[in-house]
Structure 1
Amino acid sequence: MVAASFWSLLAPAIAMTPGDGFKQVVPAAVGFVMGALFLFSLDKVLPHLHHNFKESEGPKSSWQRTTLLVLAITLHNIPEGLAVGVLFGGVALGLPEASISGAVILAIGIGLQNFPEGVAVSVPLRRMGLSRRKSFFYGQLSAIVEPIAGVLGALAVGFFTPILPYALAFAAGAMIYVVVEEVIPETQQDGHSDIPTLGFILGFVIMMSLDVALG
């Protein structure tokens, strides 16, 4: 997600902005901050439970823990759908900075990381006593927001072409917020930091290589 945020989203946003120096980076910077603040606001407004089942965020709620967990994953899937939708929207508009290969690579990368993400929802729900069918269903349901957000992102870019640099950076900011606020802390818990750190480096290099080589 970090590698994709730069090479597939921020770099094209900067490249398609006219001017040079600080003028060229302003849309990317503004969109990036807005994306991070958007996820920050949702985190504070919507009650949800972290993967470790020990910490909850947002306003106090009487919702069940299963609902809070599914909502947490659903909430953090929004920027992933937006990122793919915005990039494909740029491809549909024929913008040279948004390549179809880059959009497909981003979609594949996000799709691959959705497998363990779905397991992270289904397995804990199963341990809570839900049936296999319900656990699987809720795991799938948590990702349903991605295609919805993708369609909204593509439509927004199509109707408002000038906002594409902002939209690309917005998706990148939202994705980076999720990584820093949620994913990295979760991987560093319980004394298992070496493998997740090496996995992060390997994943970054793979996404960077694919994006540059095929984009």
Structure 2
Amino acid sequence: MNQVLAGSVLSALSTGLGAVPILFMAKSLTHRWRDVLLAFSAGIMMAASMMSLIPESLKSGGFSTLTVGLSAGVLILTLLEMTVPHIDLEHTKSGLQFDEKAMLIIAAITLHNLPEGLSVGVSYASDSSSQIGNLIALAIGLQNAPEGFLVALFLINQQIGRFKAFVIATLTGAVEIVTSLLGFYLTSLFRGLVPYGLAFAAGAMLFIIYKELIPESHGDGNERTSTYAFIVGILFMIFLTQSF
């Protein structure tokens, strides 16, 4: 229990850690660097899904279980996207008002973080909890850091104070702690749900990668640079997997 709590807190609060630089930045980040951060995050999540979540689900449940769980993850993310309109953080040029634009962004990012928290909790409930749980918590944390930075940067561009933007960005990630503990308890009580939960987490992460992170990283003509960053993110996560 202490391990899942620590892992979920660290991965969730990485959102706030990533937002720290905006308190000291003198100017905004270029689109190229934003795209690099997004693509690097996508690579990290891709490696975590393909090398940890999916193999573990196959090992403990088989292909049919993987298919059902992964499809459920994609379906839930699809329904979330249809319920909460998606607004692009990176490529919006118009200056919309905070109460309309920013609140919708905050709601969308918060809901987007819910399945990530579930991914961490379910991973700790698996038979290889000490390994796969820490690995997924690390992967989600590494992905949350640039996300927190970009959310805070967006809020600053909407004339929100730096400290307030930092606090809001941190809170959008904090919801992962709740869903992480929920995922852990559910799969611990019903052990048969573990392989489904791992596959669900993989499906949710793959949806986020392909539907959100990759398109956003290619929106300003930085496709080649973003592709390199994506590959570096994959290699970085593989290195961590092999090392630890």
Structure 2 contact 124–132 (Cα < 8 Å) conserved: no
Secondary structure, counterpart of 1:49 in structure 2: coil
The answer to whether the aligner puts 1:12 opposite 2:43 as a matched pair is no
The answer to whether the aligner puts 1:87 opposite 2:123 as a matched pair is yes
The answer to whether the aligner puts 1:130 opposite 2:130 as a matched pair is no
Moved over 6 A (4+): none
1:75 alignment counterpart: 111
Q: TM-score, with normalisation over the residues of structure 2? A: 0.75
Is 41-50 or 115-124 further displaced after alignment? 41-50
Higher relative CO (CA 8 A, sep ≥ 6), structure 1 or 2?
2
Is 202-211 or 139-148 further displaced after alignment? 202-211
Greater helix share, structure number: 2
CA deviations on 1:64-121 (whole Å, 9 max, x unpaired) are: 111111122212212221111101122xxxx2xx241232122122212212111111
Distance 2:191 2:132 in 1: 19
The answer to whether the aligner puts 1:186 opposite 2:216 as a matched pair is yes
Give the aligned length. 196
Structure 2 contact 91–219 (Cα < 8 Å) conserved: no
1:160 alignment counterpart: 190
2:46 alignment counterpart: 2
Structure 2 contact 46–206 (Cα < 8 Å) conserved: yes
1:38 alignment counterpart: 76
Task: Give the partner amino acid of 1:2.
Answer: M
Structure 2 contact 74–203 (Cα < 8 Å) conserved: yes
Distance 2:199 2:74 in 1: 10
Structure 1 contact 50–72 (Cα < 8 Å) conserved: no
Structure 1 contact 83–168 (Cα < 8 Å) conserved: yes
Secondary structure, counterpart of 1:143 in structure 2: helix
CA deviations on 1:175-204 (whole Å, 9 max, x unpaired) are: 110111100000011111122111111111
C-alpha spacing 1:178/1:50, structure 2 compared with 1 (3 Å): same
Distance 1:213 1:112 in 2: 16
2:206 alignment counterpart: 176
C-alpha spacing 1:99/1:208, structure 2 compared with 1 (3 Å): farther
Distance 1:165 1:212 in 2: 22
Distance 2:160 2:243 in 1: 44
1:59 alignment counterpart: none
Distance 1:11 1:130 in 2: 43
2:143 alignment counterpart: 113
The answer to whether the aligner puts 1:52 opposite 2:96 as a matched pair is no
Task: Give the partner amino acid of 2:112.
Answer: H
Task: Give the partner amino acid of 1:162.
Answer: G
Secondary structure, counterpart of 1:64 in structure 2: helix
Cα drift, residue 128 of structure 1:
0.9
Unaligned runs of at least 5 residues, structure 2: 1-44, 94-98
Distance 2:132 2:237 in 1: 10
Structure 1 contact 35–171 (Cα < 8 Å) conserved: yes
Structure 1 contact 32–170 (Cα < 8 Å) conserved: yes
Q: TM-score, with normalisation over the residues of structure 1? A: 0.85
Cα drift, residue 212 of structure 1:
4.1
